[in-house]
């Protein structure tokens, strides 16, 4: 039995007065996360690419809880102009944020470039969330017990960052570039923790992964092979979105988590189970990779954090 085996959404503390932004909140893990937070009184900004779908989700949640505090705002993470517009809107309406959950994603699409010419999965999973976090960091610093929760995947352990071919022009394989983007999430969450710690910021950076969950990103994979593998053959191993969302909910709300921790399921292979602390792949904690990806991400997004590099001060804490 692990430390957190009995933890469930029912254990989320009262979140009344706290403001969350959840990306990809109209379905899957994002919708499950939003539902659990609203049940505990949180105000949630549903950051969604499809506003109509987001409004349907909000109506569904309001029918369950008429006093739910919900906002629907358009955010296309694969388009940096959309990220900036979203951040401007949030700044206009909110003096502070308490938690940002970087949850949205896509899985194994055909080779596609974003509006700014980046490979779609790297753009949506990493660059968009990197820019969004940086643009909202001042609001988070003003929050109560502020946190950034970045959702990665078990597959980050299979990834490598192709610094010489980030856009896949030399050879694109859908799952290899999915794994790359999820490793980038993990590297970012770790680096953000180190840099916020170095700066003495009150904002905590945490990572989470859902194990294997039956969500649209898996069952709706664009290729027949991936639908067969993930949507049919592996379905008996999958847990529900409500269960899959528990690690990110734990990271976002549990009073005892520390910046830099990585939360995932406690079952075999981390495929399912209750939230517990798990271990990042060595590639995610490599200092050179972290610095290189951070510098490149600031260059590609045009968003500069102004945080000191990890390790620039003696005694930097790690996680």
Q: Which is the catalytic residue, given 178, 212, 250, 305?
A: 178
Q: What is the pTM of this model?
A: 0.92
Q: What is the pLDDT of residue 31?
A: 98
| pLDDT at residue 101, rounded to an integer | 99
Residue 253 has pLDDT above 60, yes or no: yes
pLDDT band at 313 (very low <50, low <70, confident <90, very high): low
Average pLDDT over residues 31-49: 98
Mean pLDDT of 26-45: 98
pLDDT at 230: 52
Q: Averaged over 126-153, what is the pLDDT?
A: 98
Closest CA to 276 of 266, 268, 287, 290: 266
pLDDT tens figures, 55-91:
999 999 999 999 999 999 999 999 999 999 999 999 9
Q: Which residues contact 29 (CB under 8 A, 6 or more apart)?
A: 103, 151, 210, 213, 215, 241, 244, 245, 248
- DSSP for 211-225? -SB--HHHHT-SSHH
Average pLDDT, the chain: 91
What pLDDT does 256 receive?
Answer: 96
pLDDT digits (tens, 9 = 90+) for 195-241: 999 999 999 999 999 999 876 655 445 555 554 555 544 556 679 99
pLDDT bracket for residue 4 (50, 70, 90): very low
Return the CATH fold of 13-301: Rossmann fold (3.40.50)
Q: Taking residues 28-41, report their average pLDDT.
A: 98
117 CB neighbour count, 10 Å cutoff: 9
Let me know if 178 is a catalytic residue. Answer: yes
Domain boundaries, the chain: 13-301
**The pLDDT value given to residue 238:** 77
Q: Is the pLDDT of residue 102 over 50?
A: yes
Task: Quote the percentage of the chain above a pLDDT of 90.
Answer: 87
Residue 254 pLDDT grade (very low, low, confident, very high; cuts 50, 70, 90): very high
C-alpha distances in Å from residue 181, one per residue of 87, 153, 162, 178, 198: 22, 10, 10, 5, 25
């Amino acid at each position: 039995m692990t430390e957190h085996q009995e933890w469930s959404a029912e254990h989320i503390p009262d979140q009344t007065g706290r403001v969350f932004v959840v990306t990809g909140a109209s379905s899957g893990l994002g919708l499950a996360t939003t539902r659990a937070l609203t049940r505990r009184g949180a105000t949630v900004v549903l950051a969604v690419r499809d506003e109509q779908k987001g409004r349907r989700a909000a109506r569904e949640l309001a029918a369950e809880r008429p006093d739910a505090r919900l906002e629907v705002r358009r955010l296309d993470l694969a388009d940096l102009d959309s990220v900036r517009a979203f951040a401007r809107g949030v700044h206009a309406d909110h003096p502070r944020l308490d938690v940002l959950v970087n949850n949205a994603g896509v899985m194994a699409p055909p080779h596609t470039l974003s509006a700014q010419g980046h490979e779609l999965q790297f753009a949506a999973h990493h660059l968009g969330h990197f820019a969004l976090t940086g643009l909202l960091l001042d609001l988070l610093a003003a929050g109560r017990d502020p946190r950034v929760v970045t959702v990665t995947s078990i597959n980050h352990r299979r990834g490598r960052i192709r610094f010489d071919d980030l856009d896949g022009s030399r050879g694109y394989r859908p799952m290899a570039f999915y794994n790359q983007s999820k490793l980038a999430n993990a590297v970012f969450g770790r680096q953000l923790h180190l840099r916020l710690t170095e700066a003495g910021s009150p904002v905590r950076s945490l990572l989470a992964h859902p194990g294997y969950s039956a969500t649209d990103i898996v069952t709706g994979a664009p290729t027949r092979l991936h639908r067969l593998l993930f949507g049919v053959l592996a379905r008996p191993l999958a847990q529900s979105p409500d269960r899959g969302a528990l690690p990110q909910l734990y990271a976002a709300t549990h009073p005892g988590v520390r910046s830099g921790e990585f939360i995932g399921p406690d079952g075999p292979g981390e495929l399912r189970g209750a939230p517990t602390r798990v271990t990042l792949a060595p590639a995610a904690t490599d200092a050179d990779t972290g610095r290189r990806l951070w510098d490149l991400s600031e260059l590609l997004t045009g968003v500069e954090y102004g945080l000191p590099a990890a390790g620039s001060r003696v005694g930097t804490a790690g996680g």
